[in-house]
Structure 1
């Protein structure tokens, strides 16, 4: 354990048969939460989290292997992706375990909506027996998580955003493997980075206080006979522990653990490129946008850079249509769609003509019976990315891929979205941070004002954990 004095009321917990600080590194997929950051977090006495989502692996010289897909079909490329995922996940876990040196604990994080999630998770756990303490899993309803955890005798930590979601998981599956559920991660859907669990009943523009939601989650857990010693992990918006003092040793909430996803981005061990780290220091409140452009269909939070602004603008150049003249659709669309017979409202026809005059000459249909207007270069990129799909998601709105049955969602591919694996691989490996998706939590603006980062200081993970333990 760290020798640093901890924030008032914060004490170590028992996890995986050892004493650890109740501080979890949030898992960040596609090579961001890698062995270096996660192993260092565990070595500092916390719970490090290796991402098993499109993880990197290396050649005999220690150089990263560029993952090139050679399959002629999506199914063949998907099988390559699964093989890459297993190789990368195993290597990252082994390296993180070595760095941890027997201290802290190593979890792995899996996006349930990633392509081949169950297959990858099972193979990774089989090849890393004894190295992984627990599996965190969200972005979907991972009913089979407890079953998989039991098969490999590891803990599991479901990621949910409401008591209702947890109850559904518990009733259907988790109650059968209660002894391995080490914690429940409450991920605030308005504040967390990456994909968020907002339901259709919740307003993305009206954030809710996490306290009553976590209180309700604990009440649900108690009603199901789950002991207060099973922690709730507060994830999303956590920066200074002093802001959460009322949560520590609070009988209404039971045992609380805190997860940090955004702060570990700016450490010496963090694998993200320097340009990304530098940009984090410039963010202001409101610079992280909760949006719904992800091909998963989930809401997600990312820095509102030109890449995201372009997606916003693209969706604004959109009009509804019908294939027959009906209702207010009385004008035949005569731009952007060649000789196809589409009918739109007269006002929308004028809007379409103005977009075409600005250079957005290509009309692309969406699954929602709308047409979105893009320029020729953008159309080419969209269509190439859709053609090159390697099946990185279980269901992809952008390419209409599905990782089972006939490999099709049955819907039109959606040009308002993007290839998420392409852009996340690009940004983490040093390509333009302005033209790729940059995930971050909504508390990222603190990098600019937190004195800990003044004068360009970049801490080691150990320095960051020690700082967090002081309350700051």
Structure 2
């Protein structure tokens, strides 16, 4: 394997190994500090991060506000306090010279307020902001205001070009790097565009080369690109290392740090990782963000798939093929469906899926009474964890704080499930994000006999190869 040398990133020399930020309470101060102490760039998630009480116990996020707006304010407060707590721990574990980044999702509720609150409350502890899930134009303004570097996450040169021309060119000196997150390989939310087919993966090399060529047009030939998604053994990427066409490259590891001693996920989750097989991680479009995302296929995703299959189109009038009357809801209001769909609806009802829920697309989905009640309860309990939510129809923008569409029962409350799985909840009944290479835990001899490395051991293994 080629020698892995330090590169210049964010104004300092670091190993080109970056910890990927992972969602709610998974990448935390412990993992980030340990990764940075090993010589790379540690990243804690600033998305609804955990905070602690006086005894050091995690404060579970509960909400007492009577309205969504009131609960949203509670969520923002939780997010700021949690982010500060994780920044402090990362700095304490990593040391004064560690490179610590905070990862935020631009589409999370109150994203700008949360990251500003963290940077105010943990002054000098955060060296960089990594940000994706949307088009974070204001990221450069925040970086300039607080004197930190910024690392936008993109999945194409075209996306970066739009960000650069509109905003980033005004804060050139603080652009520490650009994260290319492969939309077919990375875990979590993926940046597939409308022109890309989720079923037809494209090779990352030409896409990253196109990004580099676009960056060179802007005078950014020496700004590192961080490859995220599908990275396991660095010898598999030797043609990327010291490649003059690609320029400086770093590699982001998101899935592998899950299986470390410092990782806060449950032992059951860690054991599940070393049983995964090829194909167990799937790309699906149920997220309330509207983005595709990659997660371990389990009962939770299976039920979402089945729910969408139990779906028929309806019309408020008898028109075209919609000639069969169907009565909806407790008031038995009539809608019209096709005779074929009417027969399907009758079969679902006989199977116990007796509740109908309307979607924004003039369709009906069929669920059991218990599942329908849970969906409605979750929609009512919305705390505004996203800037826009298709599941609950929340938007953080006034005056009415709704997206103007019917709440979509084909999606789910992402805050509820990610909080639960991160705090020892059911692995089958919750969303488990993972990259598509997660199945390699099973065949990698490094993890034989159930071995769980420390972060330091993992980084050493990455640097020395197989």
* Range of TM-score over shorter length: over 0.9
From 12, 17, 21, the equivalent of 1:23 is 17
Kindly report structure 1 stretches of 4+ aligned residues shifted beyond 4 Å: 335-338
1:332 is the counterpart of 2:332: no
Query: Do the aligned partners of 1:335 and 1:353 also contact (CA within 8 Å) in 2?
Result: no
Once the two structures are TM-superposed, the CA of residue 103 in structure 1 deviates from its matched residue by 4.3
What CA distance in whole angstroms lies between the structure 2 residues aligned with 1:33 and 1:68?
21
How many residues were matched structurally?
A: 465
Per-residue CA deviations over 1:19-66 (Å, capped at 9, x if unaligned) read: 311000000011000011111000111100010000001011111112
Aligned-pair CA distance for 1:336 = 5.9
1:293–1:416 CA contact under 8 A, matched in 2: yes
Say whether 1:400 aligns with 2:393. Answer: yes
* 2:59 pairs with 1:58: no
Return the match for 2:403 from 401, 406, 409. Answer: 409
**1:234 paired residue among 227, 237, 240:** 227
Deviation string, structure 1 residues 134-176 (Cα, Å, up to 9, x no partner):
1000000000000110000000000000111000000100001
Counterpart Cα distance in 1 of 2:158 and 2:8: 27
Q: Is 1:342 matched up with 2:335?
A: yes
Change beyond 3 A, Cα 1:181–1:319 = same
1:367 is paired with a residue whose SS is: coil
Q: Distance in 2 between matches of 1:155 and 1:195?
A: 23
Q: Is the 8 A contact 1:335 1:356 kept in 2?
A: no
How far the C-alpha of 1:122 sits from its partner, in A, is: 1.1
User: How far apart are residue 17 of structure 1 and its match?
Assistant: 4.3
Summarize the alignment of residues 262-273 of structure 1 with structure 2, pairs less than 5 Å apart: 262-273=255-266
**Would the alpha carbon gap of residues 335 and 70 (structure 1) be closer, same or farther in structure 2, given more than 3 Å must change?**
closer
Q: Which ranges of structure 2 fall in alignment gaps of 5 or more residues?
A: none
SS in 2 for 1:416: coil
For the structure 1 residues 354 and 317, does the alpha-carbon distance in structure 2 shift closer, same or farther, using more than 3 Å as the test?
same
Are 1:304 and 2:269 an aligned pair? no
2:349 equivalent in structure 1: 356
In structure 1, the partner of 2:30 is 36
Pair 1:211 & 2:205 matched: yes
Q: Distance in 1 between matches of 2:332 and 2:57?
A: 52
Q: What CA distance in whole angstroms lies between the structure 1 residues aligned with 2:445 and 2:457?
A: 14
Question: Secondary structure at the residue paired with 2:333?
Answer: coil
Counterpart residue number, 1:290: 283
Report if aligned partners of 2:395, 2:401 keep a CA contact under 8 Å in 1: yes
Cα distance in 1 for partners of 2:267, 2:67 equals 36
Show the counterpart of 1:74: 68
The answer as to whether partners of 2:7 and 2:248 remain within 8 angstroms in 1 is no
Task: Tell me, in whole angstroms, the C-alpha distance in 2 between the residues paired with 1:128 and 1:72.
Answer: 31
TM-score after normalising by structure 2 = 0.98
- Cα distance in 2, alignment partners of residues 71 and 369 from structure 1: 32
Aligned to 2:215: 221
Answer yes or no: is 1:193 the counterpart of 2:187. Answer: yes
Q: What's the CA shift for 1:335?
A: 6.2
Query: What SS is found at the alignment partner of 1:189?
Result: coil
Please list the CA deviations of residues 91-120 of structure 1 after superposition, one character each: whole Å capped at 9, or x if unmatched: 100111000013431000000000000111
Indicate if the aligned counterparts of 2:26 and 2:264 stay in contact, CA closer than 8 A: yes
